Chain A
Amino acid sequence: MGLVFHRADTDRAFDLNVIPLFQSLYMSFQSVSTFGTSTFVGLDNYLQMLQDPEFWQSLKNTFFYAAIQVPITIVLSLFFAVLMNTKIKAVGLYRTIFFLPMIAAPAAVAMVWRWLFNSEYGLLNAVLDKLGYSGNILWITDPEVAIWSIIIVGIWTNVGYNMILLLAGLKEIPKEYYEAAVVDGAGPLKQFFSITLPLLSPQLFFVSVTSVIGALQVFDIIFMMFDRTNLALKSTQSLVYMFFNESFVLNDKGYGSAVAISLVLIIMAITGIQLLAQKKWVTYD
């Protein structure tokens, strides 16, 4: 009975998720025409990709985005989580507000930010102007600036989510540790570095791994904030954007699959490195 019971389900998971993995791999060795007929082309898609400046540019953009967005998001999430873990009132309200960006559909988020970033009528430039910065920043159209706009939205969306995960971890740290530290005369900073950080390291590790994976898959914001005609798109488009564009807009699903497979390999390599590195800094009790 037990066997039958889980079998159906295992099969379903297999059909939906395991087979497609190999299909993608298989497809990346093929040239797929618009009408669905495909021919085996070996490593051609990969060779084409390695010579495609667009691929390297997308890779660079993706890494740049992740390398800036993730550390800032984690530091801010930790900072706010620590503040909310003190005995102050209205923590529930703050928590609810911080998580709000995570609730909104990315299409809506991207649209309102696009409006805030508007160089002529946007709120952001108006505020900067009030603060004495008169240069009119072209948030969406300046290729030098555009990636920073995506980073800002990325941070804004993710801080609340990571903060909630870290706050849950902070609440598990026994109060006695801090009481003992106070008796020993340790100040707040010393307490933070010798109690909070090591005891929170499993959650910090989880948050770093998931944040890196998430950041390497950035797509929605770019897709919604940058029109196809925007010249800054080249300096912001991510690997997932390129995959989407090749597979479903240009309809070259073989080439698109090669891009997707590369992304998977990159993500697995980076996650693997993080798993190895965790031994150096993560303490499990």
Chain B
Amino acid sequence: MQTKMNKTTALIHIVLIIGSLLMIVPFLWMVLTSGKTISESTQIPPQILPEVFQLENYKAVWNSLPFVSFYINTGLMIAFRVLTSTIFSAMAAFAVAKLDFPGKNLFFGIVLTQMMIPSQIYLTPQYLLVQNLGLLNSISALVIPGIVSAFGTFLLRQFFIKLPDELMEAAIIDGATTWQVFCRIYMPLARSGLVALGIFTSLFAFKDLMWPLVVNMSQDKMTLSAGLASLQGQFTTNYPQLMAGSVIAIIPMIILYILFQKQFIEGIATTGGK
């Protein structure tokens, strides 16, 4: 029995290791290629390791595109989106979960419907809105569609609804206003939900490609995602440099992920909850 268990465990590990390799090899290949010379990268059969790791590739890519701006733009976009969408979604979610007002169900119905509608439908009107506001090629343009999120409202409502109403009733009796109840009592208690929404918002803002591509055409206002897309046009076949650019673009998120992997994974798991 004992050996049978050990064999099963070993088999599970083997399968999971193969799976992990499939997940990680593209990243390894990206890093390895980024250190090769062009002739090393075009050997047949492929040469696995570069003779000397060519930091030159990184230098060339770094100098050819304004990566510092890309980092700043991406950082600002994420920061503003996380800030506004958590605050506004929390306010809306709190109202739906704990307050009574006419049209509440209709409002929540609209929120739910919105979650089912693909974002492309908003793209053109939002683009025209941003254009009419004269905000094309700006940080505001990047932030605007993420100011409030239906998904966030839904997610946080699930958190607020689980918290007891008595907390509010007691506080109101003690003379607290609705605003105080929201800020001081319910917000701290919904912390794990807010963290989950923050992570979710940052990740999807970071990965968003179409919107930044459409609104910010000038290079100094591009995000990492969109900037990387423009790199492809410049170095069509210089794969070592393309890979170096990719590493530069994804490394901040990977570091954050490794540092906060527990929060990332638990946060994502919450978003799929019941």
Contacts from A to B (Cβ < 8 Å)? 1-3, 5-6, 9-10, 12-14, 16-21, 23-24, 27, 36, 80, 83-84, 86, 88, 90, 92, 94-109, 111-113, 115-116, 118, 120-121, 123, 126, 129-130, 156, 159-161, 164-165, 167-168, 202-203, 206-207, 210, 213, 216-217, 219-220, 223-224, 240, 243-244, 247-248, 253, 256-257, 260-261, 263-264, 267-268, 271
A62, B274: Cα distance in complex, Å = 29
Docked-complex contact B101 and A18, CB < 8 angstroms:
no
Report the nearest B residue to A105, measured CB to CB.
B225
A-B contact list, 12 entries, CB within 8 Å: A1-B177, A94-B16, A104-B250, A107-B209, A108-B30, A108-B247, A111-B243, A115-B243, A126-B45, A156-B23, A168-B272, A260-B123
Docked-complex contact B121 and A20, CB < 8 angstroms:
yes
Q: Which residues of A contact B30 (CB under 8 A)?
A: 108, 112, 115
Docked-complex contact A20 and B126, CB < 8 angstroms:
yes
A27, B145: Cα distance in complex, Å = 19
Report the nearest B residue to A20, measured CB to CB.
B125
A233, B110: Cα distance in complex, Å = 37
Which 4 A-B residue pairings sit nearest by Cβ, starting from the closest?
A6-B95, A20-B125, A165-B272, A108-B246
Q: Digit string of B141-168 for contact with A (CB within 8 Å is 1, else 0)?
A: 0001101101001000000000000000
B52 in the interface, Cβ–Cβ < 8 Å? no
Scan residues 1-52 of chain B and give those whose CB is less than 8 A from a CB of chain A: 9, 12-13, 15-16, 19-20, 22-27, 29-30, 33, 41-46
A227, B213: Cα distance in complex, Å = 16
Interface centre among B44, B121, B123, B127 (most CB of A within 10 A): B121
Docked-complex contact B225 and A115, CB < 8 angstroms:
no
Contacts from B to A (Cβ < 8 Å)? 9, 12-13, 15-16, 19-20, 22-27, 29-30, 33, 41-46, 88, 91-92, 94-96, 99-101, 107, 110-111, 114, 116-129, 144-145, 147-148, 150, 153, 177-179, 182, 203, 206-207, 209-210, 214, 224-226, 228-229, 232, 239, 242-243, 246-247, 249-250, 253-254, 257-258, 261, 264-265, 268-269, 272-274
A156, B19: Cα distance in complex, Å = 10
Closest CB in chain A relative to B152 CB, distance in Å: 10
Closest CB in chain A relative to B187 CB, distance in Å: 13
Report the nearest B residue to A15, measured CB to CB.
B129
Docked-complex contact B101 and A3, CB < 8 angstroms:
yes
Docked-complex contact A100 and B24, CB < 8 angstroms:
yes
A18, B182: Cα distance in complex, Å = 26
Give the number of A-B contacts (CB < 8 Å).
259
Closest CB in chain A relative to B124 CB, distance in Å: 5
Docked-complex contact A167 and B264, CB < 8 angstroms:
no
A111, B239: Cα distance in complex, Å = 9
Docked-complex contact A126 and B44, CB < 8 angstroms:
yes
Docked-complex contact A13 and B92, CB < 8 angstroms:
yes
Closest CB in chain B relative to A87 CB, distance in Å: 8
Given A96-B265, A115-B243; A10-B26 close (CB under 8 Å)? no
A228, B147: Cα distance in complex, Å = 33
Docked-complex contact A240 and B120, CB < 8 angstroms:
yes
Docked-complex contact A223 and B125, CB < 8 angstroms:
no
Report the nearest A residue to B21, measured CB to CB.
A97
Q: Which residues of B contact A112 (CB under 8 A)?
A: 26-27, 29-30, 243, 246
